[in-house]
Amino acid sequence: MLALVTGAAGFIGSHLVDRLLADGHEVIGVDDLSSGANVQPGVELWEMDVADPSLVEKAAVRRPEVICHLAAQVSVRVSVADPLRDARTNVVGTANVLEAARAAGSRKVVFTSSCAVYGVPDALPVPPDAELRPASPYAASKVSGEVYAEMYRALHRVDFTTLTLANVYGPRQTPEGEAGVISIFTDALLAGRPTRVYGDGTQTRDYVYVLDVVDAFARAAGERGGGLRLNVGTGAETTDRELHSLVAAAAGAPDDPEFAPPRLGDLPAMAVDPAATGDALGWEPRVALPEGLAATVAWARDRAAP
């Protein structure tokens, strides 16, 4: 099939391009290269803003069967500082991608949401039908994208699956994204620089390996999971302090972080329940955190080598 991947040069998008090409699909990538720099061999790149209306015309000519929409302004902090910039890419951009799918007669859009939409949930791990409580412009923009995708299914019969990602980590990740702490710890520990844990180290996140995440996208791009929002995470919480120990072990570095006051707006705990994703897509996370961290540190070590 012909797949269009927005955010194709980004951390997750570039791995998804690799996976779709390996599965024998043809891939068009859309990316303005504002943060992503991973243009994979074999992808046809449309270098453009995802909110550019000419995307609709271009898609109508090439008619991708599926659009995986990952392009986004990905930083919660940037979204708080500049909510209009966030909304232009994440809200207007998503409306534009859905319009492109309608014009192209695409079968489905796989929309990328974030566990940030759950805010401070009532219980962990959060099920996919939990109340959405966005606590930042970024989270609000993702909720908006989810609602737009549902609306396009009802109005124009473009099917969707929303994948609500936990904290994704792995090779090619950058410090800006939601699992940026792994990248920050890794780079500092490999360079022998000090590391910092904010708060008392008990804040938790659900870390899911990037190749497991693209497996969920590849499955959702098929016939299953239509009309659903599905969690893509492990369901397990890892504290910041535990994470530091695991990255230090993978890097062969001392496990001795500094502690700094908690940062305003950081959510105390997160993990998402992937059980329904297993039922809908036959998906489950396969890569354990120590194994994934070993691969991530090996990649960072190679990149840092002279």
Ligand X SMILES: NC(=O)c1ccc[n+]([C@@H]2O[C@H](COP(=O)([O-])OP(=O)(O)OC[C@H]3O[C@@H](n4cnc5c(N)ncnc54)[C@H](O)[C@@H]3O)[C@@H](O)[C@H]2O)c1
Tell me the window of 10-18, 149-157, 190-198, 264-272 that interacts with ligand X (CB under 6 A). Answer: 10-18
Instruction: Determine if 89 is a binding residue for ligand X (CB under 6 A).
Output: yes
First to last CA, the chain: 40
Binding residues for ligand X restricted to 111-130, rule: CB under 6 A = 112, 114
* Residue 152, token pair as written in the block: 């396009």
Q: Is 261:193 a contact under the CB 8 Å cutoff?
A: no
Q: Which is nearer to ligand X, 255 or 269 (CB)?
A: 269
**Using CB atoms, what's the residue nearest to ligand X?**
36
The nearest distance, CB 3 to ligand X, in angstroms, is 16
What tokens appear for 269 in the block?
A: 């705990």
Nearer of residues 34 and 202 to ligand X, judged by Cβ: 34
Contacts of 5 (CB under 8 A, 6+ apart): 13, 16, 17, 20, 27, 28, 29, 30, 43, 67, 68, 70
- Residue 231 contacts ligand X per CB under 6 A: no
CB 9 within 8 A of CB 45: yes
Total binding residues toward ligand X, as defined by CB under 6 A:
31
Q: Could you tell me if 172 and 38 are in contact, meaning their C-beta atoms sit under 8 angstroms apart?
A: yes
Dihedral sign of CA atoms 85, 139, 150, 229 in order: positive
One of 138, 152, 207, 209 is an active-site residue; which one? 138
Contact criterion met (CB below 8 Å) for 161 and 111:
yes
Contact with ligand X (CB under 6 A): which of 5, 11, 18, 285? Answer: 11
- Provide the minimum distance between the beta carbon of 178 and ligand X in the complex, in angstroms, as a whole number: 3
CA angle (26, 172, 70) in 5-degree steps? 50
Residues between 163 and 222 that touch ligand X (CB under 6 A): 165, 167-168, 174, 177-179
CB of 48 to ligand X, least distance (A): 7
Euclidean distance between CA atoms 7 and 22, whole angstroms: 18
Positions 21 through 80 that interact with ligand X (CB under 6 A): 31-36, 49-51, 70-74
| Min separation Cβ 97 and ligand X, Å | 10
- Write down the least CB distance from residue 8 to ligand X, Å: 7
Question: Which residue among 93, 128, 137, 225 contacts ligand X (CB under 6 A)?
Answer: 93
Helix axes of 180-191 and 289-304: crossing angle, nearest 10 degrees? 50
Q: Is 138 in the active site?
A: yes
Active site residues: 138
Binding site for ligand X (CB under 6 A): 7, 9-13, 31-36, 49-51, 70-74, 89, 93, 112, 114, 165, 167-168, 174, 177-179
